[in-house]
Structure 1
Amino acid sequence: MERAEAENPSVAIEAVQDHLPALYFVFGRIRTEELASEVGREWDFLFHDEKEKVLKAITDTEKEHPDIFQRGHRRMLRKLLQQGIGYHHAGISPILKNLVERLYENRLLWVLFCTETFAAGVNFPAATTLFHSCRKWDGKEFRTLMNREFFQMAGRAGRRGFDRVGHVYIKIDEKFAEQTGFFDEGEVESVYGRLAISPNTVLSLLKWKTDEEIDRFLTQNFSAYQERRAEREIMGLLDSINQQYEQVKGYFCEQQGHPSCPLQRRKLIREQKRLRSSKYKNRPGSRERVDEIRNILAGQQTQRCLHEVCADARDEIEALGYQRAGLMGQVNAIKQQSEKYIYEYRAVKSVLERLGYIKEREFFPRGNFALELHVQEILVTELAFSGMLEDLPPEEVAGILAGVDYIPGRREFVPAPPYDPTPVHELREQLLEAEVPPNFVVWSGTPGFVAHAWYTGKSIDYLLENTSLQEGDIVSIIRRLIDLLRQIDDASHNNPHLRERVREIRRVIDRDEVAVVF
Structure 2
Amino acid sequence: MAVVFSSPTCNEVIEAIQDYLPALYFAFSRGRTELLAEELGREWDFLTSREKRLVRQMIQEAEENAPGLFSPRRQNLRRLLLQGIGYHHAGLPPLLKDLVERLYESRLVYVLFCTETFAVGVNFPAASTVFDSCRKWDGQEFRPLLNREFFQMAGRAGRRGYDEVGRVFVRIDERFPDQTGFYQEDEVEPVRGRLVISPNTVLSLLCWKTDAEIQRLLEKNLSVYQSTKESRQLRQEVEKLENKAAELSRCFCPDRGQERCELYRVKLRKELNQLKKSKYRHRADIKMRRQEIQILLQKGRKKCPYKTCLDASRKIRRLEERIHLLHKRLKQLNKHARDYVRDFESVWVLLEKLGYVQGRELLPRGKFALYIHVQEILVTELVFSGILLESPPVEVAAILAGVDYQPGRDEQVSPPPFSLEKVEKLRRFLIESGVPEHFCIWSPLPAALAAAWYQGTGFEQLLEMTNLQEGDIFSIIRREIDLLRQIERAAGEDRALAGLARDIRRQLDRDEVAVVGV
TM over 0.5: yes
Alpha-carbon spacing, 1:455–1:252, altered in 2? closer, same or farther (3 Å): same
In 2, are the aligned partners of 1:219 and 1:338 still within 8 Å (CA)?
Answer: no
Q: Deviations over 1:338-386 (max 9, x none)?
A: 5522221111111111111112211101111111111111111111111
Specify whether residues 4 and 322 from structure 1 end up closer, same or farther in structure 2 by C-alpha distance, changes over 3 A only.
Answer: closer
Contact 1:144 1:179 in 2 (8 A): no
Partners in 2 of 1:257 and 1:173 — Cα distance?
50
- How far 1:210 moved relative to its partner? 1.3
Alpha-carbon shift at residue 217 of structure 1 (Å): 0.9
CA shift in 2, pair 1:330/1:74, >3 Å: closer
**Structure 2 counterpart of 1:221:** 221
| 1:425 matched residue in structure 2 | 424
Specify the SS of the correspondent of 1:429. Answer: helix
CA–CA separation in structure 2 for the residues paired with 1:384 and 1:207 = 21
| 1:91 maps to amino acid | G
In the alignment, the residues of structure 2 paired with residue 392 and residue 179 of structure 1 have an alpha-carbon distance, to the nearest angstrom, of 57
In the alignment, what sits opposite 2:365?
366
Structure 2: which 5+ residue stretches go unaligned? 272-282, 286-295
- Whole-angstrom distance in 1 between the partners of 2:336 and 2:11: 50
Alpha-carbon deviations, 1:422-442, whole Å to 9, x = none?
111111111111211111111
Q: How big is the shift at 1:112?
A: 0.9
Shift of 1:488: 0.9
1:255–1:38: structure 2 CA closer, same or farther, 3 Å change rule? closer
**Stretch deviating more after TM superposition (127-136 or 183-192):** 183-192
Q: Is the 8 A contact 2:89 2:118 kept in 1?
A: yes
How high is the sequence identity, in percent, across the aligned residues? 53
Q: Which runs of 5+ in 1 are unaligned?
A: 271-276, 280-296
Contact 2:449 2:465 in 1 (8 A): no
1:32-111 paired onto structure 2 within 5 Å:
32-69=33-70, 71-111=71-111
Question: What letter is aligned with 2:169?
Answer: Y
Q: Partner of 1:283 in structure 2? A: none
| Residue identity matched to 1:190 | P
Residues in 1 aligned to 2:119 and 2:48: alpha-carbon distance in whole angstroms:
28
- The question of 1:497 aligning with 2:496 is answered yes
| Pairwise CA distance, 1:467 | 0.9
Alpha-carbon distance in 2 for matches of 1:41, 1:406: 38
- In structure 1, how many angstroms separate the alpha carbons of the residues matched to 2:338 and 2:64? 58
Aligned position for 1:201 = 201
**Cα pair distance change 1:301/1:179, threshold 3 Å:** closer
Deviations for 1:72-116, whole angstroms, at most 9, x for unmatched residues?
Answer: 232222222222221111111111011111111121211111111
| Distance in 2 (alpha carbons) for counterparts of 1:126 and 1:267 | 59
Shift of 1:41: 2.9
| Alignment-mate amino acid for residue 150 of structure 2 | F
Structural mapping, 1:174-193, within 5 Å: 174=174, 176-178=175-177, 180-186=179-185, 187-193=187-193
* Contact 1:357 1:367 (8 Å CA) reproduced: yes
Change (3 A) 1:136 1:262: closer
Does residue 12 in structure 1 map to residue 1 in structure 2?
no
The count of aligned residue pairs is 494
- Structure 2 letter corresponding to 1:198: S
Equivalent runs, 1:300-315 vs 2, <5 Å: 305-306=304-305, 309-310=308-309, 313=312
Match of 1:26? 27
CA–CA separation in structure 2 for the residues paired with 1:137 and 1:237: 34
Shift, 1:251, TM fit:
1.2
Distance 1:348 1:189 in 2: 31
Residue 517 (structure 1) aligns with: 516
Distance 1:350 1:100, change over 3 A: same
Amino acid at match of 1:18: D
Q: Residue type matched to 1:31 in 2?
A: R
Matching of residue 341 in structure 1 with residue 340 in structure 2: yes
Letter in 1 for 2:350: V
CA distance in 1, matches of 2:26, 2:322: 40
Quote the offset at 1:205 in angstroms.
1.1
2: distance between equivalents of 1:322 and 1:347?
40
Q: Which residue of 2 aligns with 1:488?
A: 487
On the 8 A contact 2:34/2:87 being kept in 1, the answer is: yes
Output the CA distance in 2 between the equivalents of 1:479 and 1:403. 12
The TM-score normalised by the length of structure 2 is 0.87
Give 1:157 deviation, angstroms.
0.7
- The residue number in structure 2 matching 1:291 is none
Give the 3 Å change call, closer, same or farther, for CA 241–60 of structure 1 in structure 2.
same
Tell which deviates more after alignment, 498-507 or 181-190.
181-190
Say which SS state the counterpart of residue 506 (structure 1) adopts: helix
RMSD of equivalent CA atoms: 2.9
Range 317-326 or range 101-110, more displaced: 317-326
1:204 Cα deviation after fit: 1.1
After superposition, the Cα gap between the structure-2 partners of 1:7 and 1:261, relative to the gap in structure 1 and judged at 3 Å, is: closer
**Helix, strand or coil for the counterpart of 1:178?**
coil
3-state DSSP of counterpart to 2:109: coil
